[in-house]
Amino acid sequence: MLAGNVVHLDPAPAMSEAMIEGWTRQQRSRFLKDQTIAARIRMIRRFSEFTNLYPWQWTPAEAEAWISDLRSGDRALALSTIRSYEITVRLFCEYLTDNRYGWMQVCADRFGSTPQLVFHEGNSVLHIGDYEGSPRRRPLTYDEIQALFDAADGRAEKIRADGRKGALAAMRDSAMLKFCYAFGLRRSEVCNIDLVDLRRNPQAPQYGSSGSVAVRFGKASRGGPAKRRTVLTVPEFDWIVDVVEHYLTEIRPAFAPGAHPALWVTERAGRISPRSVNAALTAARDDANLDPILDLHCLRHSYVTHLIEFDYPVRFVQEQVGHAHASTTSIYTGVSNEYRNQLLTRAMRNRHGELWSES
């Protein structure tokens, strides 16, 4: 990273930039996504600006002052967010202190000090819980799901009645939100669904081309390719078949998408963006007067929960949503008291038979 035949007038900034460039290359060799690398580099520069020091001058004291400053703002950062900041800085420091890269020796020779790990077990947020999101985030109830979809349907009618543009997009958004819920999709997954991903299920021919959805751009593991899975249409969500058919025959052609492969297209005949999906959920949620904390991912939580309440095996649900571990699926599950009472009733009858029923 440092040319031996070049003498810098101000070597410290050049050294700092060389360190960042070297770490960037290391992460690219691990096939991390460009947006992941860019976000990490921005975080390192942000920390460096706060300390007004170079990486070989950083100490745990600066790191702790930075976290204290972040926590003192008007808007409190989530625990997981703070930990991600700490992990990013620690990864950078681990790269600098790895003797295989030679930064320790170069810094000692040129500046008389060496990089060190500024975040350690004693001053870092520990990951001790399976779920660290806001406790207000939860699955929607059946009534809330209905209210959300009613509000989404009503937006198109209201826009048309007001004589404004956007009724067609509102109809698309309504169908898209229902699609997200009926197949338990993430926002990036629904954006990347193409027409060819709608497939028949030989075991359920009555669903036509909506018998299953091939998800080709599922959430990737760190440094790995996008995961693939096939989500089957289940009987409790078979209403989505009519929704998709209406969208394909009446709504999508009105956008004049031409040969564009995407299922969900924009007014300019392009692929829908994740931001637009979020905006569709937010608009319907606000019109339905639902809790502002509820977001698009809550529909995925709802899908998992409702499949469990429909008595589908956890393994089946896990495969439907593409979780690597059943423990992740359990985090998404928030079954209702009514469902738990049904399980309790069933267990009591199995144990005590008619004697319990009569009592």
Which one of 216, 260, 297, 312 is the catalytic residue?
297
Longest pairwise C-alpha distance within the chain: 93
Is 332 noted as a catalytic residue in this protein?
yes
Round to whole Å and give the CA distance between 185 and 215.
9
Q: Catalytic one among 136, 164, 199, 219?
A: 219
Residue 127: active-site member: no
Catalytic annotation, pick one of 40, 155, 178, 186: 186
How does DSSP assign 208-270, residue by residue?
GGGSEEEEEEEPPPTTSPPEEEEEEPPGGGTTHHHHHHHIIIIIGGGG--TT--BSSB-TTS-
Name the amino acid, one letter, at 143.
D
Q: Which of 312, 271, 280, 313 is nearest to 299 (CA)?
A: 280
Only one residue has tokens 């035949």, namely 5
Question: Would you say 93 and 124 are in contact if contact means Cβ atoms under 8 Å apart?
Answer: no
Q: Which entry of 40, 155, 252, 323 is annotated as an active-site residue?
A: 323
Can you tell me the distance from the alpha carbon of 312 to that of 94, in angstroms, rounded to the nearest whole number? 45
Q: Are 207 and 201 in contact (CB under 8 A)?
A: yes
Let me know if 300 is a catalytic residue. Answer: yes
Catalytic hit among 172, 300, 301, 306? 300
Q: Exposure string (b/e) for 139-172, b if CB count within 10 Å is 16 or more?
A: bbeeebbebbbebbbebbeebeeeeeeebbbbbb
Is 95 noted as a catalytic residue in this protein?
no
Decide if 219 is catalytic.
Answer: yes
Our answer to whether residue 207 is catalytic in this structure is no
Residues serving a catalytic function are 186, 219, 297, 300, 323, 332
